[in-house]
Amino acid sequence: DRETRRRPSQFLAALGDREAYRARGKALVGLRDESTLEAACAAMASFVDKGELALLAVEELLEATERKREPGRARAAARALVRMGEPAAAGLKGLVERHPEPSVRTIACDALVPVLCAACDPGSIALVVQHASLTREPGGRYLSPGGFEPPAAGETHLEVVRRALSPCDTPEVRAVLFAGLRSAETARAWKLLLIELFETRVGADVSSALAGVLAERDGALVLRALEVLERLGGWEGHEKKLRALLQHDDASVRRAAVRVLGRMLVEDAGWVSDVDSLLDSPDAAMRMGAAAALAERRTPQALEALHRLLVDAEWSVRVEALQHLANLRRKETIPVLISQAERETGRMRADVFAVLRLMTGLDHGLVAGRWRTWWNDVGEAFELPALDKAQAAEVERQQRASEGKTVSSSLYGVQVVSERVAFVLDVSVGGFAAHGAV
């Protein structure tokens, strides 16, 4: 069986002398199964501190990677070379640069990430971007300028790659990273990592590279690029690309594009007219974006338009409008919220009451009629409290409510206020977990 066939190579490697090395070579003859080959090749790492034998082992393993039509043997030999450490460094880099099998290039490159990135050489950085994976199996070791080392405790391969690339920020290296971001061959996970790296680098070239991502069809990439661009304030000259996103297939991208344009063009009369027209768009995502854009304007007309969106037929639009009205905290919104509480049910109704409490600092319960009576009595004279005072009052109420109170409609102590709830039970080998999804 496979286990029996592995033992000769392991036994001979343990002897560690020249005769054992020669005999071990014969033990590889005829092996075809990749796991058996890998065990036999891995045993050669026992010769790593045997001087001349270590060099012979590296040479033989490199020859094994060149066997045509045997990718399994090449992968097994590449993994063994990684175990050999420093004596195999040059050979591993040669595999990254020239081997025809992508999986072999990746095995070699993953182990070389720290040493390839150490000098911030653009050619080496290009090898990492083109060939390194971001999901290497845990426990893999790395060749670094300091030797052959495991990752830091708990550090994933993605974190190793991020840490190795982060210090590299020369114009030449930026050009390599920009090329990787543009390339259709670059994996999605790599593009997300590159966008993350640009978050700490400023300049018109970075903004231009991120703006180029806006042409992607992948909504996650576009949203991440938008987020970083917004943080860097790099919108100048890219309005046309942002407007093109209003036609994107992904609803989240369309919503985000309206929101970003609303912040960017808050004083633009033409854009104000555009936003007003979006209030009647059949696309809920566009109406959600319009709510964010209206909140940026902060005019009486914009506030009135937000009040209109609070009674939108689409639940998601009402949630968006409620969030921005809560942030604006205008007295004129209070009677509108009371009216909305009379119409809403379930979670949305509870959220409206929560906003009323945070705006007023008061609690008239979960009955809209009580809030209506209070407003009719004191509305004209009422003055909004400062936000910190209203928040402190809410925290105090929640603490009082939690003392000795048992919630009947709950899951593991979390109150359920939604009317349509699904519970998903995870009974996998990893354990039992309960998750509530609204």
pLDDT > 80? residue 163: yes
pLDDT digits (tens, 9 = 90+) for 44-61: 666 555 556 666 777 777
106 vs 2, 69, 79, 110, CA distance in Å? 26, 18, 10, 6
Cα–Cα distance, 382 to 376 (Å, whole number): 11
Task: Give the single-character DSSP code of 386.
Answer: P
Closest CA to 130 of 181, 92, 83, 79: 181
With bands split at pLDDT 50, 70 and 90, how would you rate the model's confidence at 414?
very low
Q: Is the pLDDT of residue 22 over 60?
A: no
Q: Token pair for residue 413?
A: 């102590």
Give the Å distances, CA to CA, from 71 to 27, 32, 83, 393, 428: 19, 10, 19, 67, 35
- Predicted TM-score (pTM) of the model is 0.74
State pLDDT tens for residues 386-410. Answer: 999 989 988 888 888 777 554 445 4
Q: Which two tokens stand for residue 112?
A: 């070389």
- Give dist(CA 259, CA 244) in Å, integer: 14
* Least confident residue range of 36-50, 244-258, 293-307, 334-348: 36-50
Q: What is the pLDDT of residue 9?
A: 44
Average pLDDT, stretch 10-37? 49
Contact call for residues 125 and 165 (beta carbons, < 8 A): yes
Q: What is the pLDDT of residues 232-271, one digit of tens each?
A: 887 778 889 999 999 999 999 999 999 999 888 888 888 8
317-325 mean pLDDT: 95
Residue ranges with strand state E in 56-162: 142-144, 147-149
* Helix-, strand-, coil-residue percentages of the chain, each rounded to 5: 65, 5, 30
> Of the spans 29-43, 128-142, 274-288, which averages the highest pLDDT?
274-288
> Cα(71)–Cα(74) distance, rounded to whole angstroms?
5
**Residue 279, amino acid:** L
The gap between the terminal CA atoms of the chain, to the nearest Å, is: 53
Write down the pLDDT at residue 45. 60
Q: Are 48 and 67 in contact (CB under 8 A)?
A: no
Q: Which of 120-124, 307-311, 417-421 has the lowest mean pLDDT?
A: 417-421
Could you tell me which residues come within 8 angstroms of residue 282 by beta carbon, excluding any fewer than 6 positions away?
A: none
Which pLDDT does position 182 carry in this prediction?
A: 93
Task: Summarize the confidence of residues 340-366 as an average pLDDT.
Answer: 91
Mean pLDDT of 16-43: 53
- Other beta carbons within 10 Å of 217: 10
Specify the pLDDT at position 16. Answer: 46
Res 416 pLDDT > 60: no
Lowest mean pLDDT among 27-41, 104-118, 212-226, 405-419: 405-419
Phi, psi of 144 (to 5 degrees): -135, 170
- The predicted pLDDT at position 139 comes to 65
Q: Please state, in angstroms and as integers, the Cα–Cα distance from residue 226 to each residue in 19, 123, 331, 420, following that order.
A: 63, 29, 33, 33
What pLDDT shows up at residue 432? 39
Q: Each residue of 72-118: pLDDT tens digit? A: 778 888 888 887 778 888 888 999 999 999 999 999 999 999 999 98
**pLDDT band at 426; cut points 50, 70, 90:** low
Percentage, residues of the chain above pLDDT 70: 77
What φ, ψ does residue 415 adopt, rounded to 5°? -65, 140
Q: Can you give the pLDDT at residue 2?
A: 42
Mean pLDDT calculated for residue range 152-163:
87
- For residue 34, what pLDDT is reported? 57
Q: Are 214 and 250 in contact (CB under 8 A)?
A: no
- Between 318 and 5, the more confident residue is 318
Average pLDDT value for the chain: 81
Report the distance separating Cα 393 and Cα 390, nearest Å: 5
Determine how β-strand 147-149 pairs with β-strand 142-144.
Answer: antiparallel
- pLDDT for residue 333: 94
Which tokens sit at 151? 């990752």
- Please tell me the distance from the alpha carbon of residue 397 to that of residue 194, in angstroms, as a whole number: 45
